[in-house]
């Protein structure tokens, strides 16, 4: 590969790193064409972008970035696919589902590392932690539900209190007659 081509790839990787706030490094060593194609379809379905890259080019893109990605350098071995996403837990859920269909004992594709919610997750054992990360929309829904709960209690109390006050006023009105 020519030096100019490498520089173009590094620049494109750098742009993609800026465009997506979260990404996963996945080991796809030994995946056949059918499984790779199935994984790409799954990525498209989950609105994530998968790119297979040379480790040295990705390393140089990391070095050129404003963010210090040095905790990920040791994971750049073997065949690496980078999965870029806007939702931090989407690729983790996808990988877990994809691997659940594997024959017993086969863990390809396997998580090498991830950069999600401005944190580093290194190792395949971090997949469950990544699945547990809540997306922005999930957090907003939880906050709205928590905010609505006290309001619903106040409205309910006011409605029951209004009925009681109405009953008292009727009783007083009848006694006055």
Q: How many CA atoms lie within 13 A of 79 on its CB side?
A: 11
The neighbouring-strand residues paired with 53 are 80
> For the residues 70-76, what does the mean pLDDT come to?
92
Q: DSSP E strands: which ranges in the chain?
A: 22-27, 49-53, 80-85, 110-116, 119-122
The answer on pLDDT for 176 being more than 90 is no
> For the residues 146-171, what does the mean pLDDT come to?
70
CATH architecture, domain 3-133: 2-Layer Sandwich (3.30)
Percent of the chain's residues with pLDDT above 90: 34
């Amino acid at each position: 590969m020519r030096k100019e081509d490498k520089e173009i790839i590094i620049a494109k990787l750098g742009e993609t790193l800026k465009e997506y706030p979260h990404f996963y490094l996945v080991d796809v060593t030994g995946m056949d064409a059918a499984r790779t194609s199935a994984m790409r379809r799954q990525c498209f379905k989950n609105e994530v972008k998968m790119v297979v890259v040379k480790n040295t080019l990705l390393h140089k893109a990391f070095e050129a970035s404003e963010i210090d990605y040095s905790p990920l350098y040791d994971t750049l071995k073997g065949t690496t696919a980078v999965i870029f996403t806007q939702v931090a837990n989407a690729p983790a859920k996808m990988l877990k589902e994809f691997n659940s269909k594997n024959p017993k004992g086969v863990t390809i594709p396997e998580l090498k590392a991830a950069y999600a919610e401005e944190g580093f997750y290194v190792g395949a054992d971090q997949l469950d932690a990544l699945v547990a990360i809540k997306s922005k929309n999930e957090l907003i829904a939880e906050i709205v539900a928590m905010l609505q709960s006290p309001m619903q209690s106040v409205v309910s109390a006011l409605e029951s209190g209004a009925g009681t006050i109405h009953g008292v006023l009727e009783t007083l009105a009848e006694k006055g007659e």
